[in-house]
Amino acid sequence: MKKKIWIIALTILTAGSVYNLSSCSASKSVQAKSGVQLWGENCVRCHNAPSPTRYSDRDWSVILTHMRVTANLTEAEETKIREYLQSAN
């Protein structure tokens, strides 16, 4: 009985670590999208997105740090959106 429990636990841990490793890289759909596309898809779903020129690069950095947590953005999404917003200034 103990052997079965250890095998099940080991299987779950192995599957979990493989899943976590594969989720570290950006998904293909995120890689294929531009910053402006991600901006439109993620920011407008909850509120009217302000003009990219409304805030400074530093302001956008602070805003995106907050929104990454609030909107559950990946690092790749945040980076692309930040690059788009900062290129508009």
- 79 within domain boundaries: yes
Of 25-29, 37-41, 49-53, the range with the lowest mean pLDDT is 25-29
pLDDT digits (tens, 9 = 90+) for 61-82: 999 999 999 999 999 999 999 9
Domain that includes residue 80, residue range: 26-87
Give CA–CA dist 33/8, Å, rounded. 39
> What predicted TM-score, i.e. pTM, was given to this entire model?
0.65
Size of the chain in residues: 89
- 19 within domain boundaries: no
- 18 within domain boundaries: no
Q: How many domains does the chain have?
A: 1
Are 31 and 60 in contact by the 8 Å Cβ rule? The answer is: no
